Structure 1
Amino acid sequence: MAFKIALAVFAATVAAASVCAQTPAPADPVATLVDHLALDNYKATIQGLTQFGDRRQGTERNRQALDWIEAQLKRYGCTNTERLRYEFTEPARRGPVQLQPLRAGGPAAQGGGTLFGRRAPIGVNTDPMAQPDERLRALNAEPTPPGTTPRESVYCTKVGSTRPDEMYIVSAHMDGIGFGEAANDDGSGTALVMELARIFSLPGVTTERSIRFILWNNEETGLNGAYAYVAQRKDLQGIESPKGSGRYPEPTWLGLIQHDMLLFDHGMPVPKLDAAGKPVLDARGQPVYVAPKEQRAEADVNVEFQVNSRQAEGSARLAWQLRAANEKYATDYPAAVGNRMTNTDSTPFMDLVPAISVRENERGMQIGAGWNPHWHQPTDLFSTYSDKDFLLGLNAAQTTLAAVAQLAGAKVGR
């Protein structure tokens, strides 16, 4: 009798194991969402933005770009789009960046021994005639009007199913300068935010916490759109309106992830060579440095927080969560974490909430050293970048999408 019972137990165990072996493991919802990202979609969104030229704030082309972005978000299913309206006065025009040697009497800025080592010239192009394309020059001809006039940023929200009162913010700036197409600065970041809004708006996708997708205006004039948002909305966090409705127009901020220039990581400038292979010299007899033509093998997605901010500890944790998400879900390029976030729309938030910036290069050390020769230049065009460049931006999208899906508690239904 005991033998028959043992045999029956053994048979039941084998049968159960067979059933388990035949039952597939549940799909990873994060991987499912990341799989919806595609290089062609990402490129097409960037190219769509470039139809409005550099999208300089205050101009008709800037307003048309805002309308286009809002229409796209609604088409994706992100129907609760809103505008943030604020007043802005055009400041004095920026001049070229002045490069300072490491010590008094040091070598010239373009040679070796400067604060950032070997570097290429950087600055902001303010000459419309530097754009050789007549069509694009005409498109970008309208200047920002003088005086104080209203400006707008646009956003939409994925409302959380169980914690609608808590929110992650995913952002980029949609305005640009330089008389190009602002394809990288910041079409690349804007397209990323729009793609994430599209994917989180797909049928069957739910999140426990809310996610807000924001496209700032006036970044290039001093982060004014982001500062206006903080000024208008920070004291409204977590307030149910109307009372008892379960609606939170401004959920409590849990973290902000800003995206600003994602395509170009070609490495340190190298000496420019003439037809004979000799270094080209400038008028001072110093070597002229240019960016390498190809994306470097060591290219990576830079995730930065500001170590001197009041939220440095939480920001560091958020940055490392993106790093971990990149390791598991990004396909081609790794992520690196740095602690010197600066000069982008995460800055107004960094003392209030964990805030990080996702970029192609380190903001101070690499962008500041002229690693991207198209920054604020007429050459910031869709046609300037290769698929290797666009793929770096797509990997940034994979990184943020995966991290936010985990943080917000995303699920994918049938």
Structure 2
Amino acid sequence: MKSVVSLSVALAFAAPLALAQAPTSQAPVQTAAPVDPIATLVSQLELEKYKATIKSLTLFGDRRQGTQRNRDALAWIETQLKSYGCSNTERMQYQYTELAKDAPRPRRAAGIASGGAGGPPGQGGSTLFGNRIKTGVNNDPLLQPDEKLRAINAEPTPLGTSQRENVYCTKVGSKHPEEMYIVSAHMDGIGFGEAANDDGSGTALVMELARIFSAPGVETDRSIRFILWNNEETGLNGAAAYVEQRKGLQGIESPKGSGKYPEPKWLGMIQHDMMLFDHGMPFQKIDGYGKPVVDEHGEPVFVAPPEQRLEADVNIEYQSQSKQSEGSAKLAWHFRSANDKYASHYPAAVGFHMTNTDSTPFMDLVPSISLRENERGQQIGAGWDPHWHQPTDLYKNFSDKDFMLGLNAAQTTLSGVAQLAGVRIKK
């Protein structure tokens, strides 16, 4: 009797369990995870395309302001932007006066020339303790050993007043065309090299973003303007002229009732200037006998490390002494967060000594940041990039690891702006 009862109890417990484990006739519905449009767009940034755009820019030599090679490069950029689908590509004209070397120089474009307190003049407020390489601008065309490149760069900048131009195109927002983010770089260069890094790397980045945002099916709530500045190397003059001409036109519909805004209200300004070279602090040069090399004054000779350092990162800078410092800091940290999520190789670091680039004329009017290879004042100003304004700023002198740093900056800006502008991909 006991065994029968035990069996009955066992069956009573087993039956519900068996029913619970029995397969149902209808399988549960599987819902696909939503596609992240930002990740989709970031995946369209390709190293070889980025490199190819930089290489094409170097065919115009250093693109020195006021020369035919500068105008030819500007025309090529405009043609490329239109080929991407930026049908509203425009040029903005301004007058610039080129002075002789010994003539009194006018005041630099409005901003913080030396960055304020805390650091040596010209270092943007930063202080660097460590090895330095003397920096400067090469003004001798004969120091370029490549005869073909020397011929391309032969025309000097003409003296006197002449018309200069910036070129830009705009991704018009579908919900708020009256508001926009500015994404920019400068296309001119100096030094009698190819200006591959300064600032072919930033120009190519902006062009690549213009290509991706202009693709069919890509929509944004707010507008994005992609601008390539001229005359950065003479004192941020192209950007300063833009601010002077356009700041009073923001958010004004023209013609009235048209829904068109030639100069949407500025929500943020993102500049890109030298994106490739983060090899770290220079080290003292050693000769073939293992002895430290010194110059004619007995001072140590420092050279840059040959490889991109493992700690390389994208520097995102804002200016803590600007009138828009609070908004600029928030913008910088937003881009740092975007880098964390969407960049493939190199991380980002935020600094507060932005100086001497085209975001400076904007920084008291709108939240402004710049993306760079190094801290502008502390590291670039101390010679951490030996190609800066030199004949050696050549495409061939940068490796894929260097170019990847620039591509990661592009991933950072694309994702950061896409979030802010409200991107979506229409099927």
TM over 0.5: yes
Residue 17 of structure 1 deviates from its aligned partner by 8.5
Mapped contact 2:278–2:385 kept (Cα < 8 A): yes
Where does residue 354 of structure 2 map in the other structure? 341
1:48 to 47, 56, 65: 56
1:4-32 deviation line (CA, Å, top 9, x unaligned): xxxxxx9xxx999921xx22111001100
For the residues of structure 2 that align with 1:179 and 1:123, how far apart are their CA atoms?
13
TM-score where L is the length of structure 1? 0.90
For the residues of structure 1 that align with 2:386 and 2:277, how far apart are their CA atoms?
9
Where does residue 174 of structure 1 map in the other structure? 187
Find out whether 1:211 has 2:224 as its counterpart.
yes
2:36 to 28, 43, 47: 28
Q: Which runs of 4+ in 1 moved over 3 A?
A: 14-17, 91-95
Q: Alignment partner of 2:79: what SS?
A: helix
Residue 92 of structure 1 deviates from its aligned partner by 4.7
Structure 1 residues 317 and 278: alpha-carbon distance in aligned structure 2, compared to 1, 3 A threshold = same
Aligned pair count reads 383
For the residues of structure 2 that align with 1:247 and 1:275, how far apart are their CA atoms?
67
Pairwise mapping of residues 205-244 of structure 1 onto structure 2 (< 5 A)? 205-244=218-257
Give the residue type in structure 1 aligned to 2:330. R
Structure 1 residues 122 and 177: alpha-carbon distance in aligned structure 2, compared to 1, 3 A threshold = same
Find out whether 1:80 has 2:80 as its counterpart.
no
Find out whether 1:18 has 2:28 as its counterpart.
yes
Task: Please tell me whether Structure 1 or Structure 2 has the larger radius of gyration of its CA atoms.
Answer: 2
Q: Alignment partner of 2:403: what SS?
A: helix
Residue 94 of structure 1 deviates from its aligned partner by 9.3
For the residues of structure 1 that align with 2:426 and 2:134, how far apart are their CA atoms?
51
For the residues of structure 2 that align with 1:53 and 1:194, how far apart are their CA atoms?
18
For the residues of structure 2 that align with 1:171 and 1:198, how far apart are their CA atoms?
14
Q: Alignment partner of 1:365: what SS?
A: coil
Find out whether 1:122 has 2:135 as its counterpart.
yes
Q: Alignment partner of 1:368: what SS?
A: helix
Residue 278 of structure 1 deviates from its aligned partner by 1.6
Structure 1 residues 15 and 273: alpha-carbon distance in aligned structure 2, compared to 1, 3 A threshold = farther
1:215-266 deviation line (CA, Å, top 9, x unaligned): 0000000000000000000000000001011000000000000000000000
Find out whether 1:152 has 2:165 as its counterpart.
yes
Give the residue type in structure 1 aligned to 2:44. H
For the residues of structure 2 that align with 1:279 and 1:393, how far apart are their CA atoms?
33
Find out whether 1:292 has 2:300 as its counterpart.
no
Give the residue type in structure 2 aligned to 1:258. Q
Give the residue type in structure 2 aligned to 1:344. T
Mapped contact 2:130–2:281 kept (Cα < 8 A): no
Where does residue 57 of structure 1 map in the other structure? 65
Structure 1 residues 326 and 16: alpha-carbon distance in aligned structure 2, compared to 1, 3 A threshold = farther
Where does residue 112 of structure 2 map in the other structure? none
Mapped contact 1:116–1:369 kept (Cα < 8 A): no
Give the residue type in structure 2 aligned to 1:228. A
For the residues of structure 1 that align with 2:406 and 2:102, how far apart are their CA atoms?
28
Where does residue 422 of structure 2 map in the other structure? 409
Q: Alignment partner of 1:185: what SS?
A: helix
Q: Alignment partner of 2:418: what SS?
A: helix
Give the percent of matched residue pairs that are identical in Structure 1 and Structure 2.
74
Q: Alignment partner of 1:315: what SS?
A: helix
Give the residue type in structure 2 aligned to 1:217. N
1:180-221 deviation line (CA, Å, top 9, x unaligned): 000000000000000000000011000000000000000000
Where does residue 39 of structure 1 map in the other structure? 47
Give the residue type in structure 2 aligned to 1:84. M
2:77 to 69, 91, 97: 69
For the residues of structure 1 that align with 2:27 and 2:85, how far apart are their CA atoms?
43
Mapped contact 2:277–2:385 kept (Cα < 8 A): yes
Structure 1 residues 272 and 167: alpha-carbon distance in aligned structure 2, compared to 1, 3 A threshold = same
For the residues of structure 1 that align with 2:423 and 2:163, how far apart are their CA atoms?
36
For the residues of structure 2 that align with 1:204 and 1:15, how far apart are their CA atoms?
41
Mapped contact 1:78–1:201 kept (Cα < 8 A): yes
Give the residue type in structure 1 aligned to 2:47. L
For the residues of structure 2 that align with 1:76 and 1:128, how far apart are their CA atoms?
35
Residue 115 of structure 1 deviates from its aligned partner by 5.5
Q: Alignment partner of 2:379: what SS?
A: helix
Give the residue type in structure 2 aligned to 1:25. A
Residue 345 of structure 1 deviates from its aligned partner by 0.1
Structure 1 residues 127 and 206: alpha-carbon distance in aligned structure 2, compared to 1, 3 A threshold = same
Mapped contact 1:91–1:221 kept (Cα < 8 A): no
Mapped contact 1:333–1:395 kept (Cα < 8 A): yes
Residue 93 of structure 1 deviates from its aligned partner by 3.7
For the residues of structure 1 that align with 2:181 and 2:276, how far apart are their CA atoms?
24
Mapped contact 1:274–1:280 kept (Cα < 8 A): yes
Residue 286 of structure 1 deviates from its aligned partner by 1.7
Residue 275 of structure 1 deviates from its aligned partner by 1.1
Where does residue 98 of structure 2 map in the other structure? 90
For the residues of structure 2 that align with 1:293 and 1:188, how far apart are their CA atoms?
19
Structure 1 residues 286 and 376: alpha-carbon distance in aligned structure 2, compared to 1, 3 A threshold = same
For the residues of structure 1 that align with 2:224 and 2:329, how far apart are their CA atoms?
20
Residue 413 of structure 1 deviates from its aligned partner by 1.7
Mapped contact 2:128–2:379 kept (Cα < 8 A): no
Unaligned runs of 5+ in 1: 1-9, 96-113
Find out whether 1:367 has 2:380 as its counterpart.
yes
Where does residue 105 of structure 1 map in the other structure? none
Residue 116 of structure 1 deviates from its aligned partner by 4.1
